[in-house]
């Protein structure tokens, strides 16, 4: 089989890979920062906190990412005067910014849902112990609830990160030259879709594998406290 076209395209494909990684990483990071307050608000008893969080999560989890992307990228044009006034139109003109914004809002909604479940799963007794020692509010969240919730959320969050990586391929539709976007252009000129797309697929696969591998390591590290002490010598400690 003649793989010349693959070799020749490789530098450009790797260039696209860099953009894919960049978009994935930045939206994951921003998404996580946004997801924490959203999840906390979602769990609040106060209606003015949980209702907006609920609506936000419902919308971004209940509509296709592609539609959200179109809405922000094409839809923002209709609000140009308004956005201009706010001084942010120059941002919405950029496909890159629209992609980042949409992906961030989308992953934040899913991550908030994951965190909501994890926070609810933090043992009540441990929270009560903290309260009984005078901890409350932000301190309680920061020191006890969130550290425990993050650990519980890690497996599901890894899935979300992998999903987002794949989902970034949609940004090629709004003209960005990510890995998929670059491949589409090369294919359009070379008429070799099979070889190129299989290469692209393998690159996504390799990244996914690396992410899953790193996540497994992180998980082992973070859950050290849940495993029993490794048995020392012959007679192990009398663990429970």
Site residues, another protein (CB under 8 A): 123, 125-126, 128-136, 139, 143-144, 147-148, 151, 224-229, 237-240
Q: Which is nearer to another protein, 2 or 228 (CB)?
A: 228
Q: Which is nearer to another protein, 14 or 138 (CB)?
A: 138
Q: How far is the CB of 231 from another protein (least distance, A)?
A: 11
Q: Which is nearer to another protein, 77 or 147 (CB)?
A: 147
42, two tokens:
């979602």
d(Cα 171, Cα 98) in Å, to the nearest integer? 9
144 to each of 29, 34, 134, 149, 225, how far by Cα in Å?
Answer: 22, 19, 13, 9, 14
Q: How far is the CB of 132 from another protein (least distance, A)?
A: 4
Q: How far is the CB of 229 from another protein (least distance, A)?
A: 4
Q: What is the CA radius of gyration of the chain?
A: 22
Q: How far apart are the first and last CA of the chain?
A: 60
Buried b (16+ CB within 10 A) or exposed e, 98-129: bbbbbbbbbbbbbbbbbbbebbeebeeeebee
Q: How far is the CB of 84 from another protein (least distance, A)?
A: 43
Q: Which is nearer to another protein, 136 or 190 (CB)?
A: 136
Q: How far is the CB of 235 from another protein (least distance, A)?
A: 14
Q: Which is nearer to another protein, 138 or 198 (CB)?
A: 138
Instruction: Give Cα 183 to chain centroid, integer Å.
Output: 23
**In a 10 Å sphere around its CB, with 0-12 CB exposed, 13-18 middle and 19+ buried, how is residue 230 labelled?**
exposed
Q: Which is nearer to another protein, 226 or 234 (CB)?
A: 226
Q: How far is the CB of 3 from another protein (least distance, A)?
A: 50
Q: How far is the CB of 128 from another protein (least distance, A)?
A: 6
User: Which residues, other chains included, contact 86 with Cβ-Cβ below 8 Å and sequence gap of 6+?
Assistant: none
d(Cα 168, Cα 157) in Å, to the nearest integer? 16
Q: Which is nearer to another protein, 189 or 221 (CB)?
A: 221
């Amino acid at each position: 089989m003649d793989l010349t076209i693959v070799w020749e395209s490789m530098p450009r494909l790797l260039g696209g890979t860099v953009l894919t990684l960049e978009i994935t990483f930045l939206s994951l990071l921003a998404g996580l920062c946004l997801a924490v307050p959203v999840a906390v608000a979602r769990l609040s008893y106060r209606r003015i906190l949980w209702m907006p969080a609920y609506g936000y999560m419902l919308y971004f989890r209940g509509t296709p990412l592609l539609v959200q992307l179109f809405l922000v990228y094409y839809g923002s044009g209709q609000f140009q005067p308004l956005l201009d006034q706010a001084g942010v139109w120059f941002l919405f003109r950029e496909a890159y910014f629209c992609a980042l914004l949409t992906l961030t809002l989308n992953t934040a909604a899913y991550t908030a849902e994951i965190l909501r479940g994890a926070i609810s799963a933090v043992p009540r007794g441990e929270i009560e112990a903290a309260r009984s020692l005078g901890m409350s509010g932000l301190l309680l969240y920061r020191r006890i609830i969130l550290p425990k919730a993050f650990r519980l959320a890690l497996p599901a969050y890894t899935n979300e990160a992998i999903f987002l990586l794949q989902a970034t391929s949609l940004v090629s539709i709004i003209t960005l030259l990510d890995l998929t976007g670059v491949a589409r252009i090369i294919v359009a000129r070379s008429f070799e879709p099979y070889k190129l797309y299989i290469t692209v697929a393998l690159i996504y696969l390799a990244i996914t594998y690396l992410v899953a591998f790193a996540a497994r390591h992180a998980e082992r590290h973070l859950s050290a406290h849940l495993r029993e002490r490794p048995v020392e010598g012959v007679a192990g400690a009398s663990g429970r």
